[in-house]
Structure 1
Amino acid sequence: MSTDEPRPPSPDLAAMRNEYAERGLDRADLAADWVSQFDRWFADAIAAELPEPNAMVLATADAAGRPSTRTVLLKGYDARGLVCYTNYGSRKGTEASENPYASLLFPWIALHRQVVVCGAVTRVDRTETDTYFASRPRGSQLGAWASPQSRVLPDRAALDEAYRTAGQRFDGGPIPTPPHWGGLRIVPETVEFWQGRASRLHDRLRFRRTGSEAWVVERLAP
């Protein structure tokens, strides 16, 4: 579009807002630990038929502190942390090695809820990674071998050719986990449960680790 052509009307961003009127979140409402509370809210997100309720925004940063974000899928969680899988040579994999801290955001907007996790990043052990990789559809397994994730490609044809080559390599047989591919576990130091409220006076209750097994619950100002 040239600068001389009429532009479509801009949205009134200042006026774009929804008023949240859901029930609040009190300390008495919380489960005894963050995992049990996440169980409850994750079950609610599934029951509400949200699209991809396990989608989460993963934020990492490089050694210089320059951040990057992307949406990934949660593929496991327990008291040890929350897990996603990737090519370790990708941008997020490289940054997780250079600067092993990350944040996760579950944007359950239709429920007026968010969950925000911050903590250290560790790699999932190979046994657990192999078990998950074996459960993936064959096409996804081949894609993990074919894609040099986050690297510059000359064109789409190069990626399609790499995929065909991977298919020929394994020729209908079992596909092993690529050595450059595996899980990242975000080990929580804080887990915040955010519930939207009227007048932007939202409820924010945060589990914060104070020791190897000890946690406190804090209310944050909205």
Structure 2
Amino acid sequence: MTADAAMAAGMIDETDPHALFDSWLAEARAAEANDPEAMTLATVDVGGRPSARTVLLKGQDRRGFVFYTNQQSRKAADLGADPVAALLFHWKSLRRQIRIEGSISRVSAEQADAYFATRPRDSQLGAWASDQSRPLLSEAHLAARFQAIAVRFNGGVVARPPHWGGYRVEPVSMEFWLDRPHRLHQRRQFTRTGDRWESTLLYP
């Protein structure tokens, strides 16, 4: 059963954007061939200049949407200067998208450690080897750094780098967009005040 059918049948609370998100994501995981958790993350720097890139959703609950990154990267600098962000999920095969806007907080060190421990070993080593967003002399230089890191840990447990961690987007707005014929698309926007969500339909 699709999320739309489930909502129509009263199986999904249409006043709860988190329940609707979970349903749409479950369908995307079944339909999308690659990275259904991919999302565009938009930030602004200290001068108000926007920047966007694709990251992967690594957890979500009613507190928000979590991703991880090098905290010396450009995105991290933006979030430090202005701790707000926007997310966009676009599932082309389902002809759906979700827009999310909210404030930013860091996940705890314990949560970051727990997630880092689940990453493939090469990804763990890469987190140490990369000075993300900074100029790179050559690909050979990066490969040499990666090998040096591998030797350093020598088959042992790879600890989380101190400059690597997670962020949570705490939503204040969530908009669900569904393709419809004749460009009469359905747009349902949820806005949060305190712990309460209000829903309204928008013109396409």
Q: Deviations over 1:14-51 (max 9, x none)?
A: xxxxxxxxx979x8575341111111101111121442
Instruction: Calculate the TM-score normalised by the size of structure 1.
Output: 0.85
Q: Which residue of 1 aligns with 2:57?
A: 74
Which protein has greater RCO, CA pairs closer than 8 Å, 6+ apart?
A: 1
Structure (1 or 2) with the larger CA radius of gyration: 1
Kept in 2, the 8 Å contact 1:103–1:117? The answer is yes
Does 2:21 correspond to 1:38?
Answer: yes
Does 2:85 correspond to 1:83?
Answer: no
Whole-angstrom CA distance in 2 between matches of 1:115 and 1:50 = 18
- SS of corresponding position for 1:95: helix
Q: Which residue of 2 aligns with 1:114?
A: 97
Q: 1:215 aligns with which of 193, 197, 201?
A: 197
Q: Which residue of 2 aligns with 1:11?
A: none
Q: Show the 5 A alignment for 1:1-222.
A: 31=13, 32-211=15-194, 213-222=195-204
Q: Which residue of 2 aligns with 1:17?
A: none
Residue identity (%): 49
Instruction: Calculate the TM-score normalised by the size of structure 2.
Output: 0.93
Q: Deviations over 1:107-147 (max 9, x none)?
A: 11111100111000111110000000000000000000000
Whole-angstrom CA distance in 2 between matches of 1:117 and 1:162 = 37
- SS of corresponding position for 1:135: coil
- In structure 2, runs of 5+ residues without a counterpart are none
Kept in 1, the 8 Å contact 2:39–2:90? The answer is yes
- In structure 1, runs of 5+ residues without a counterpart are 1-22
Whole-angstrom CA distance in 2 between matches of 1:83 and 1:24 = 26
- SS of corresponding position for 1:43: helix
Distance 1:87 1:180, change over 3 A: same
Kept in 2, the 8 Å contact 1:194–1:203? The answer is yes
Whole-angstrom CA distance in 1 between matches of 2:202 and 2:149 = 50
Whole-angstrom CA distance in 2 between matches of 1:50 and 1:76 = 20
Root-mean-square deviation (CA, aligned residues, Å) is 1.9
Q: Deviations over 1:65-93 (max 9, x none)?
A: 10111111100000010011000000111
